[in-house]
Structure 1
Amino acid sequence: MRFASLLVLSVVFFTGCSSAYYGAMEKVGVHKREILVDRVDAARDAQTEAKAQFADALQHFLAVSKVPPTQLQAAYKQLNDEFKQSETRAQAVRDRIAAIDDVAQALFREWGDELGQYSNATLRSQSERQLRATRDRYAALMRVMETASARMNPVLDAFRDQVLFLKHNLNAQAIAALDGTSRELQQDISRLLADMDKSIREADTFISSMKALPAPAG
């Protein structure tokens, strides 16, 4: 699936239009539903990576309180690197969520439009029920994904504050001040990790439900 995406990725660069990309993928036999599943899978992986990064960053932050004054400069550089990596992972999650929504909305529009093409009322009703159920599952997925994504922002803000403070105060008093705020940051990151776990599980559930649907024609 991802290999097939690479074959027509140039369409996006030359047109800047998602519909052109989806149309090109359709021509090589890759439907929007498959792209949606692939993107949810990629977002789940991005969240898993972000979760690991935030947990690692927290451990480095907590370890600062044990660093002797002579090693504070090195500790600051390490924490700053961890912060930047956390920002990068967070942005990757946001980008993946946006990509999911783009193809999901295109899929739902197409599916809704094609309901009018049925001549068999029973089949149309069945497809309409599947569409509603898929929309509901998708809405549940996006709620937990966006909750976890939003939770990253205050954690990054707090982490940035700590890194900046350490940058300008490389002394024992700074370490003491950071140590006094570590519990709050630890609680924030713990809540974030719990939300990301929930989002990852919801993504797995959504992927399973989509794969259980009948394969698209063509």
Structure 2
Amino acid sequence: MRLIAVFLIAFALGGCSSLYYGAMEKVGIHKREIMVDRVKAARDSQDEAKQQFLTAMEQFKSVVDFRGEDLEKEYNRFNSTLQDSEARAAEVRRRIAAVEDVSQALFKEWRTEIEQYSSDTLRSSSQRKYDLTRKKYTELISAMKRAEARLEPVLVPLRDQVLFMKHNLNARAIAGLSNELASVQTNVDSLVRDMERAIAQADAFIASLQAE
């Protein structure tokens, strides 16, 4: 019962980071473990977003090439795809923010504890590990944020085209979407490349932490 109570408290305090991490440590779950879990979650959310945006690109192509009569049905399908893409983008942003939050707490605690060593040798060794981990983390979060920055440039033209379809549900308007196809494809290609780089760096970062 006590364990369940601590988890309920931790869940309730999720919005207050320091209290949340303190509650989790009481049940043996430390910031390092939370950090690894959150990096994994951020990696997975980016992979899911990558797949969703590839789906959105295929949907966009099918809209441009659409020659049928039920344009409203096609609009509804494309609009649904856009909403899914927006949700995936929001999840990526939320996961990256969660990684940053726990990382700040972990590195702050680590810096404080380094000063507590009475042994110069152990202090220097811990400082070297801190510096190396911090460097790897900085590279990781930079890669994640580069990929995150690609989300909005892809979403903007997709939003525009959904709105354009809504206001112009006719074959002539649909034909006009083809002018945007190349720029949307370029943005999606760039997004996918950056996502894949960020995912690879997340895997390497997780492996380096778990190897220690």
Into which bin does the TM-score normalised by the smaller protein fall? over 0.9
Aligned twin of 1:106: 105
Asked if structure 1 preserves the Cα contact closer than 8 Å seen for 2:6 and 2:27, the reply is no
Q: Which runs of 4+ in 1 moved over 3 A?
A: 4-7
Using the TM superposition, give the Cα deviation of residue 116 of structure 1 relative to its aligned residue in structure 2, in angstroms. 1.2
Matched letter for residue 49 of structure 2? A
1:1-218 equivalence runs, <5 A = 8=7, 10-14=9-13, 16-213=15-212
Using the TM superposition, give the Cα deviation of residue 5 of structure 1 relative to its aligned residue in structure 2, in angstroms. 10
Using the TM superposition, give the Cα deviation of residue 69 of structure 1 relative to its aligned residue in structure 2, in angstroms. 4.6
TM-score in terms of structure 2 length: 0.94
Using the TM superposition, give the Cα deviation of residue 94 of structure 1 relative to its aligned residue in structure 2, in angstroms. 0.2
Asked if structure 2 preserves the Cα contact closer than 8 Å seen for 1:12 and 1:20, the reply is no
Residue 16 of structure 1 aligns to a residue in which SS?
coil
Residue 28 of structure 2 aligns to a residue in which SS?
coil
Asked if structure 1 preserves the Cα contact closer than 8 Å seen for 2:13 and 2:20, the reply is no
Asked if structure 2 preserves the Cα contact closer than 8 Å seen for 1:54 and 1:86, the reply is yes
RMSD: 1.7
Residue deviations 1:98-143 (CA, integer Å, cap 9, x gap): 0000000000000000011111111110000000111100100011
Residue 8 of structure 1 aligns to a residue in which SS?
helix
Unaligned runs of 5+ in 1: 214-218
Using the TM superposition, give the Cα deviation of residue 7 of structure 1 relative to its aligned residue in structure 2, in angstroms. 6.3
For 2:64 and 2:202, the matched residues in 1 are separated by 37
TM-score in terms of structure 1 length: 0.92
The structure-2 alpha-carbon separation of the partners of 1:56 and 1:5, relative to structure 1 and needing over 3 Å to count, comes to: farther
Query: What number of residue pairs does the alignment pair up?
Result: 210
Unaligned runs of 5+ in 2: none
